[in-house]
Amino acid sequence: MVRARTEERRAEIVRAAVEVIAERGYRGAALGTVAERVGLTQQGLLHYFPTKEALLVAVLEERDRWDTGGGARAMADTWRPDLLASLVEYNAMRPGIVQTFSALLGESVTDGHPAREFFAERYAQVRAAMADVLRAEFGERLPSGLTPDQAAPLLAAVMDGLQYQWLLDPETVDMPGTFRAFLDLIQGTEAT
């Protein structure tokens, strides 16, 4: 019973953090603001999430569950390449979450960063899931000649690299259009 209430409270805090990030962006998402939204002090919030990074990782984990219907591995069971393009379009509508993901990803490459393990595990799962998605669609060789295992890290790299470019210059970088063009390229189809 206590554990269930703790999990409910953590979920409430994560939802509030998502709202604050959407409104104020990554840098403006102060722990105090999130705590206030859920009726806690900042110290009370730290009982559930000991650091801002821990809360932001929980937000990203929740984002992955929303985006893929259960996390990166669940993607392989339900996704197709065209749905990946839809996910990129959806991301273009939520810059605060994309900014949080990108900022934490960049910081996580340093030794000892609290989000490092999250991103290392996430990328391993994403690469495997994307390879499975491509394998289900094309078999062991894409029309472009790449294997699913060769194309999967390219898909992840392009998705995340486009996010950085789009965040820096959203008026110039057409994130969804460029990603669709990349899908055409790896699938060996004519650009749409």
Rounded Cα distance between 23 and 145, Å, is 44
Question: Model pTM?
Answer: 0.75
Please check the confidence at residue 74 and state whether its pLDDT lies above 60: no
What CA–CA distances, in Å, run from 108 to 53, 104, 120, 183? 10, 6, 9, 28
- Tell me the mean pLDDT in the region 77-94: 82
Tell me the mean pLDDT in the region 103-129.
Answer: 88
User: What pLDDT does 182 receive?
Assistant: 93
pLDDT of the residue at 83: 83
Lowest-pLDDT range of 2-16, 77-91, 117-131: 77-91
pLDDT above 70 for 77: no
Q: What is the mean pLDDT of residues 55-62?
A: 85
* CA pseudo-torsion sign 43, 37, 63, 163: negative
9, two tokens: 């409270």
CA-CA distance, 136 to 154, in Å (whole number)? 17
The pLDDT score that the predictor gives to residue 24 is 76
* pLDDT reported for residue 79: 67
**Whether residue 179 has pLDDT greater than 60:** yes
Give 180's contacts (C-beta < 8 A, 6+ positions apart).
85, 88, 192
What pLDDT is attached to residue 75? 53
pLDDT for 191 equals 58
The model's pLDDT over 131-161, given as tens digits with 9 standing for 90+, comes to: 998 998 899 999 989 999 999 999 999 999 9
User: What's the mean pLDDT when you consider all of the chain?
Assistant: 86
